[in-house]
């Protein structure tokens, strides 16, 4: 199962102009691999649109429960003090097509 986080903040709360927030984000990034491994999760990628104040983080997680436990880690919780974080369970195009094919068969 894959989960995507869409992380946004205002220009005023951008870590690039706020040393305290930058430290929070640096700690999060530096500890990310160890934190996700603790919960059996892996990071598929992190992308940032610096000037759009938006980042995307893709995770591979065995369950949503494991991801929920990860999100309660202190280094994860600190991010919500200045970021809006939207979390979505997502599927690949291949998984989506398979779902639609099975749905179509079942609805006959």
Structural domains of the chain ordered from first start: 2-106 (3.30.70.100)
Q: What is the pLDDT of residue 15?
A: 95
Distance, in Å, from the CA atom of 7 to the CA atom of 97, rounded to the nearest integer, reads: 28
pLDDT band at residue 108, thresholds of 50, 70 and 90? Answer: low
The residues, ordered by sequence, that sit 6+ positions from 94 with a Cβ below 8 Å of its Cβ are none
Distance, in Å, from the CA atom of 98 to the CA atom of 13, rounded to the nearest integer, reads: 42
Mean pLDDT of the chain: 94
Q: Report the percent of the chain where pLDDT is more than 70.
A: 99
pTM for the full model? 0.86
Q: pLDDT digits over 21-44, tens only?
A: 999 999 999 999 999 999 999 999
């Amino acid at each position: 199962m894959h989960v995507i986080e869409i992380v946004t903040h205002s220009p005023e709360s951008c870590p690039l102009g706020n040393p305290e927030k930058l430290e929070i984000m640096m700690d999060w990034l530096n500890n990310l691999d160890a934190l996700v491994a603790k919960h059996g999760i892996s990071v598929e990628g992190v992308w940032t649109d610096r000037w759009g104040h938006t980042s995307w983080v893709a995770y591979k997680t065995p369950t949503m429960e494991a991801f929920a436990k990860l999100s309660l880690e202190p280094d994860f919780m600190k991010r919500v003090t200045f970021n809006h974080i939207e979390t979505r369970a997502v599927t690949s195009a291949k998984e989506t097509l398979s779902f639609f094919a099975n749905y179509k068969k079942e609805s006959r």
